[in-house]
Amino acid sequence: GLADDGEAQGAVTTVVAVDKEAMTATLEGPNGMQVEIQGDNPKNAKHVKVGKTVILTYQERLFMALEVMPPKQ
What per-residue confidence (pLDDT) applies to 46?
81
Predicted confidence at residue 13, as pLDDT, reads: 93
Helix (H) or strand (E) holding 10: strand 2-19
pLDDT of residue 3: 46
Residues 64, 69, 73: CA angle, nearest 5 degrees: 165
The mean pLDDT of the chain is: 82
Regarding pTM above 0.85, the answer is: no
> What pLDDT digit, counting tens, does each position of 20-52 carry?
889 999 999 989 999 999 988 888 878 889 999
